[in-house]
Structure 1
Amino acid sequence: MHDILILGAGYAGLSAARRLAAELRGEPVRVRLVNASERFVERVRLHQVAAGQDVRLPSLPRLLRGTGIDLVVGRVAALDPERRRVRLEAAGDSAAGGRELAYDTLVYALGSTADPEGVPGLAEHAHSLAHLAGARALRQRLAGLGPGGEVAVVGGGASGIEAAAEIAESRPGTRVRLVSAKEPGAWLSPRGRAHVRRTLARLGVEVRAGAVAAAIRPDGVELAGGGFVPADAVAWAGGLRVAPLAARSGLAVDAAGRVRTDDTLRSVSHPDVYAIGDAAVMYGVDGAELRMACATGLPAGMGVVDRILAHRRGEPARPFRYGYIVQCVSLGRRDGLIQLVRSDDSPRPAVVTGRPAAAIKEAVCASAALIAQHPGRTLTRLYGGA
């Protein structure tokens, strides 16, 4: 029996597990999926959770019913790639603490989380939008604010823009300030940036560009070089980091702790380990590193299966190369931005805005969840990399 162990049930890990189980059905292979919860969490919807919307969290046991995949609920505590063992610790109500799992092939898809280091008070006084617990805590905090409450959203990337717009739209009596080191959406085309500015202004969001958070206090955000942004609640949409597990385990990693892979998504130091998603160094069609995003994790999750199957059968494995098409930013439920991009993720001049963009964004989010839960060969050919 060949044991395939997948760590993490986000977009990358879940799609990889589903496809592997389908492709290897009937063969002497056991596919096991390890996740810290029994729910499939769509990170791209966590700003909606924070704003108080009812977001569905599918049950992993139900999604995996009839697939032959064994779900193990627990948090990965240690990885021993020399012995090919993973040790778990309990997560939530699970009883996996201390359990060891052996593997022949490992798929490392543990994703990323908020980086609380370097900003005093962040862990104590801010709510991270990088995970479900933080989004739920922010929702609860916002629900307790009366008219005239103040919210600071830190981070001018897509997550920060989406959170600021969503909160402002759903809570029109709340004063929302977006704190960003650069202009929000600085990576977008001029038309894209202009639409973001107009929409945030229409929603009443006050933008503090060129402002760097130096510390988070119970009553707001201290800025580097002086200045203060008052807030009854602080939402953190700043940088992400990966867990130190891979580096601690002796896998070859980059300076950020992401697993270094070859062009078939295989660890450069341990050939029985594959790494995908935010926790891996992956490359695009131009040879540049791909960014952390659902847009890259999902294609990698489907694409890694073809590489595992090729290596298993002694066949040449095609290089994984992924090219971008669009970037999608929601601006509340009735507006959005679809930024057309080149394959290297650089912006084209063309954009789609307004209600059509909101509809496209919703369709993209819904289809990403559907593909992760039900990856098929046709979709794999479309999204699974070259």
Structure 2
Amino acid sequence: MTAAMTFNEPTERVQLRSAVAALAAEYGSDYYRARAREGAYLTDLWRAAGGLGYLGVNIPEEYGGGGGGIGDLAAVLEELSAAGCPTLMMVVSPAICGTVLSRFGTDAQRRRWLPGLATGETIMAFAITEPDAGSNAHNITTTARRDGGGWVLDGRKTFISGVDVADAVLVVGRVQDESTGRLSAALFTVPTDTPGFEARPIEMDLVSPDHQFQLFLDDVRLPDDALVGDPDAGLLQLFAGLNPERIMAASLATGSARHALERAVAYAKDRKVWRDTPIGAHQGLAHPLAQVKIELEQARLMTQHAALRYDAGDDAGAGEAANMAKYAAAEACVHAVDQAVQTLGGNGLASEYGLGAAIAAARLARIAPVSREMVLNYVAQQSLGLPKSY
């Protein structure tokens, strides 16, 4: 006898979505844009969400979290984004860093970091990208070497989100095996006040409360327990964080697409140009908006599917699904924002409606945290078995 397939989310997650949506509605896109223009972070919303337990729904209960999965955390971010308050730090702090520490950290590391990540009182950034590595993690040159009872870290990172609000950064580096000379990936927790750690802001045309930084690691001395897990399992640990990253990025994009679509539909129902007929009655606008709705729902289903596979412990299947979800969600978000601007006409670029700033943010979804081209490479090689092109 086979079990019935269902596409309905658990009751607890539906209730979580409703509660998060109610909180986010108290802030909304006006709050988000105001904080972004001020160059400030969404601190009030972050603290409120953390205090209610929403930021730590995926953290184990014994460390102060909700004991749920990445699907629950993704639902939180989607609802915040749908209300006009997307934040990259949810992708980074509880999703990537929280997941890696939960799965691979020592008990001491979990006790130190996870309770704060669960409440939002501690924020952790994630540093993998380098100026000369980009999407090729094999070219990472940040290295860590043994020095007495600790480590010395040297290197450079770029486009690292939220270092200005972070207490620590989970840094991806390379460690040399003393017997073989082989370099392997390793992850280190680096408090941002560590001597030798320097963060410089990157000036961006994108107006966002999540700021980007270059990191300079010059003779950064760390204790032995800064190393997370086993350096021989560094790649496994890394991908354990990158699959949730893609799922969360997809949720941010689908939430942002929902926000843009809702703005466009409301305007199309109200705006009248010819007689007393709303512009939404005309197929030239109605059909493109309907197409956006279809693409959005397809992306949401793929994202929920990816989260389900990850939470079931299917890392291989989750990798394929997470990449597909991220691709679909990014495309849906770009299309949704573009069509929303087109629906509003000149008002689509007026600050009052907040869609102009969303153009650049939506475009970012195609680039980060993994480009659409690298997703297509992954699917071509891993899903279709085609030869590697690089």
Same fold, TM-score > 0.5, yes or no? no
TM-score by length of 1: 0.27
Larger strand fraction of residues: 1
Q: Which has the higher contact order (CA 8 A, sep 6+)?
A: 1
TM-score by length of 2: 0.27
Larger helix fraction of residues: 2
